[in-house]
Amino acid sequence: MRIWLLALAVAFAAVAAPPPLPALVTAQLPALKPLGEARFKKLVWHVYDASLWIAAESFAPDAPLALDIRYAMDIRGADLAARSVEEMRKLGYRDAEKLARWDEAMRRVFPDIRAGDRLVGVHLPGREARFYNQQGLLGAVADAEFARAFFAIWLDERTSEPGLRRKLLALPE
């Protein structure tokens, strides 16, 4: 019985602790540390695991952060961009020309994702959003409003996934 409980505790610890961020991210923002971890499922399908990394003691939307998403399924980069635009629209971003520019920018940056891939978004408030995978920098969108809107998909109080937000921000249930 003790061995089974120990194995369960080790397995839970492995799931609960996010993997380190890619070296390029930690080199640029060495003070980042994990705040919260969440699993996103759609119906019965495990889509991704995510962790939020911050430099301060608590979340502040005007401070740099990293959102690490580790995918459990294949997703086309174009579909990821389209879904992001849809979520931004739900958050109140309505300017069609701006959304089209943002969609185009994400399509240039986001690769096709395979199960096991990761995408790390870095928010540099007032400047841009940068996107990395394990190999390095995929690209950046030098638009402060885009960066705010993109990370709001997960972190805004109006998110379509409030349970995921609560876990990423390590808020009480």
- The model's pTM is 0.89
pLDDT at residue 8 above 70?
no
pLDDT at residue 132 above 50?
yes
Q: What is the pLDDT of residue 116?
A: 97
Q: Which amino acid is at 26?
A: T
Q: What is the per-residue pLDDT across 152-166, written as a single tens digit (0 to 9) for each? A: 999 999 999 999 999
Average confidence (pLDDT) over 54-71 = 95
pLDDT at residue 62 above 70?
yes
Interatomic CA distance for residues 67 and 167, integer angstroms: 13
Query: Mean pLDDT of all residues in the chain?
Result: 92
Q: What is the per-residue pLDDT across 102-117, written as a single tens digit (0 to 9) for each? A: 999 999 999 999 999 9
Interatomic CA distance for residues 136 and 120, integer angstroms: 10
Q: What is the per-residue pLDDT across 36-57, written as a single tens digit (0 to 9) for each? A: 999 999 999 999 999 999 999 8
H helix intervals, 17-155: 23-28, 77-90, 96-109, 144-155
pLDDT at residue 9 above 60?
no
Q: What is the pLDDT of residue 6?
A: 45
Residue 140 pLDDT class (50, 70, 90 cuts): very high
**Token pair of 66 as six digits:** 């990293």
